Amino acid sequence: MLIRAVDLLKDINQITEIYNYYIENSPQTFETEPISSEEMSHRIQEIVSEGHPFLVAEDQAEVLAYAYAKRFKLDRAFDYTASVAIYVKANQVHKGIGTDLYLKLFELLAQTDFHTLIAAISLPNETAVRFHEKLGFRKVAHFYEIGYKLGRWVDVGYWQKMNPIGNE
């Protein structure tokens, strides 16, 4: 498995396919309609153009997962807070890919000015909670029934991790 920076021309269709799976089958994202490769490309370009990392894990040209960081909020006071997210192809979960990918993302983020990292998790999702807590995140907020998707109310929790280098 190779972890590398996104290559839009090479990766966009597979990244869009992974994301659209979660749109259609999971409350992990609150979007309800699949998006086009063009829209996904635009979103990735925004992240990368601001100098933030967007990584993919691939094996033999197959994108298995992707992860990225971006500014948490646009207000200037949040310049040092990153929102992180990860999406693993449905048939590749529980294989350690997400852990390796997130660790590489954190390594890159340690070289930035980000002071703290925030992960939003749709709840209930014990797998995602355990995954983030294993990597040093701790729960800091819980919003109840904040979204409605797939016929049910969904909570959202926020997990926080201090960025080691950005924290100095």
Q: pLDDT of the chain along its 168 residues, tens only?
A: 999 999 999 999 999 999 999 999 999 999 999 999 999 999 999 999 999 999 999 999 999 999 999 999 988 899 999 999 999 999 999 999 999 999 999 999 999 999 999 999 999 999 999 999 999 999 999 999 999 999 999 999 999 999 876 444
Q: CA 41 to CA 32: how far, in whole Å?
A: 18
Parallel, antiparallel, or unpaired: how do β-strands 54-59 and 62-71 relate? Answer: antiparallel
pLDDT value, residue 165 = 64
pLDDT value, residue 74 = 83
pLDDT value, residue 107 = 96
Which CATH fold would you assign to the domain 2-162? Answer: Aminopeptidase (3.40.630)
**What is the Cα gyration radius of the chain?**
15
What is the CA 113 to chain-centroid distance, rounded? 19
Residue 49 corresponds to which amino acid?
Answer: S
Domain residues of the chain, as ranges? 2-162
Q: CA 72 to CA 89: how far, in whole Å?
A: 24
